[in-house]
Structure 1
Amino acid sequence: MTTIEVPRGHLRSALTAVLPHAGRETEETPNLGRVRLVADAGALLVWATDHRTSAFARVEGPEYTEAELPSWDMPADAVKKVLQVFKGPSDADARQMWADEPMKIHVGTSRVTFTEVGAILDGQSLTVGRIVPAGEDRYPDVPRELLTLSGAILDAPTTTARLNLEALARFVPAAKAYAGGVTALANLVPGHGLHRALVRLGHAFLGSVPAYPDASHDTAAVDESSHEQHAWWVDILKPQMRPLPIEVPGDVVDDLRAQAEAIFRTEEGGTARVTLHVVRDGAPR
């Protein structure tokens, strides 16, 4: 079991911001309806997607009790329970004090426990189930999506775009949670596939939403601050991308097998008894 402590208010803001993007688990979308949490050295990272919109948030100031930092998925319903239980007082001053206090997270093999840690006595505690991984990780690679989109926007001029209001409304909880204005940069460059806009709230939150060209406006250059923030987000997103699967062509495998057989063939025309194991660089044996 790993124990993590983060400020209560920061954790609540991150979960509130990404939950609207988690989607639903169905037969057609068995990997949705969840929120992913990754314990990084500098922050607890939280993200979710339903393929239409995506959201990625950071919880600063974590403290860990284990050297091995975990990552885990929680069902959307479990995240809702966490937000329902840990709300803080209604009074503004008392609520701010509550938000600054730590939340202890015990991450077990099948369950996660959230506990309000107090100076004298601990507060409320809630245990919810987590999604136990089985087989290959097929959850959408949100860090790769956002990093690719951000790079495509900065590689070429962008234009003013129309955004779907219903999809954009999913970012209202994020704007409220972080009390900030939303900046949207649109990727409308021909050849990049589906048009999308990058939704950004400073260094706390990043997301994507479908976008549509608006021919009534001229092309606008991306300002310098966007490049600076892009570079900052690259450092956060790049280590979280899942490695792309390596596919070796069949003819290459056949050629390597033929070379191996030639190497181990004896001078008398027989063959040595050997067992060959094919491993990928950096992958477990």
Structure 2
Amino acid sequence: MEEREKKELVIITGMSGAGKSEAMDFFEDRGYFCIDNFPISLFQYLNEIFISSEKRDKVAVAIDIRNQEFINQFSKQMKLLDDLKINYTVIYLDARTDVLLSRYELSRRKHPLNLHDTLLENIEEERKIIKNFMLKADIVIDTTKTTVKEFQEILKKEFLGKMTKLSINLTSFGYKYGIPLDMHLMFDLRFLPNPYYIESLKKKTGNHKDVNQYVMGLEESKEFYKMLCDMLYYLIPKYEKDGKSHLRIGIGCSGGQHRSATFVNKLYEDLSEKFDYKITKFHREIGEKLEIE
């Protein structure tokens, strides 16, 4: 058992162009021995990679999923890791198709799948091939709207939080800017009256006290918030009992500025008081603006 704890493997995969290189940089900076484009056929030799150096007890590998046969082989190779007594974490990176297109056009790189004539067709084919693979991952990160710095911060929170019994992330977002790809639970607040149409609140956010008071003062908000809390109070311990180490909860409204941000702020306070878990919050559309009294 002691030997197992000394060997730590991080497997970084997901959609091509979603940020595997940046993830590798993150782990390299933290002392991991990093191998890019790691061939799936070499998984059986991971034990040799670990023991070839006394300092090589932490390894991160990035792999591209190129076809259905590759996925089948990858699933079989995962079983080898238990036999080799290696602790491993699978990190899956994703992003919207239009964002992946833009990144490839900027870098002028070829798509690794290379099955079709156009870049868009290759991206869509890759998404079909790995549509169910996300479920096998321990950590899923949507890099659609993140800068490199923000991505590094998410990795730090998600990965370093893996050592706690359960970490919960609350994210507010706007549906008109796209649905987050990495949520376990998602709730839609667009049925609530929108503060955007109140002139004095239009340019403010859920981080402002008057917006908070307006949103949470609505009878609809009070009723739904109570039902939401009752549901989460029931579900969260079930997720922990099932062995989940991360739970990502998305709260959305039209623009992600008022209703969803207000709910995330209140949920953050109430869940932190209710549970002894690592709980973080992130306002995707407004960042980390400070509350204005």
Q: Which range, TM-score by smaller chain?
A: under 0.3
Larger RCO (CA under 8 A, 6+ residues apart) = 2
**Higher strand proportion, which one?**
1
Structure 2 length-normalised TM: 0.23
